[in-house]
Amino acid sequence: MAETAGTKADDRNQRERALLERIARKDRHAISELYRAYHPRLFKFVFALTRSYSSADELVNDIMLIVWQKAATFRGDSKVSTWIFGIAYRQALRSVTRRRKTYPQACTGETACDDSVDIEMQDWVWRGLHTLPHPQRMSMVLVFYYGLSYPETAEITGCSVNTVKTRMFHARRKLREYLTDSAIADVTGDGRHHG
């Protein structure tokens, strides 16, 4: 079973490398194909950091523009997905930093950044994720939602594997506390809307 999953991942990576080679030659069909394949995953990923549908949608377009412009620089040292998510991570962090400087009070720890986010925030675990500091949240998203290894997560986030392990340890602990407290509050009827 693991061998089959590994083979599928290798096959997908080979297809994506072939697409990147075509993109490097400015093949518009190849970038369209890669965009369709990556849009849902990239959108969820950057939304987890920005908490804004409009910002996430704009960021996905920016990320794919960078892929279009820099496809020829891909050396193949990592999987294509790791390279693309590395770009996504850096672009999302820049966006969040820029928004904080422009609108310092617009986005606080437990406040949504646009009204439409309330739909997404109904999910209990998703709300718990948003209580975590950004580095811990991103590590959790990359490892659990995208199934990346610690080394891949370290490469994307630009830190050591030990830092990823530490972030995951603290994120699990905080998430466990949040979910426990939230469950108790829901059962007792106290603080039904916290988080």
Amino acid at 31: I
pLDDT tier at 73 (50, 70, 90 boundaries)? very high
- Has residue 115 got a pLDDT over 60? no
- What domains lie within the chain, and their CATH numbers? 1-117 (1.10.1740.10), 123-195 (1.10.10.10)
From the number of C-beta atoms within 10 Å of its C-beta (0-12, 13-18, 19+), residue 128 rates as buried
pLDDT digits (tens, 9 = 90+) for 18-41: 999 999 999 999 999 999 999 999
Q: Can you give the three-state secondary structure of 68-105, one letter per residue?
A: HHHHHHCCCCCCHHHHHHHHHHHHHHHHHHHHHHHCCC
pLDDT digits (tens, 9 = 90+) for 3-16: 566 688 789 899 99
How far, in Å, are 31, 89, 140 from residue 158 at the CA level? 26, 9, 15
Please calculate the CA angle 38-45-90 and round it to the nearest 5 degrees. Answer: 95
pLDDT score of 116? 44
- Has residue 43 got a pLDDT over 60? yes
pLDDT tier at 89 (50, 70, 90 boundaries)? confident
pLDDT score of 119? 42
pLDDT score of 101? 53
pLDDT score of 94? 81
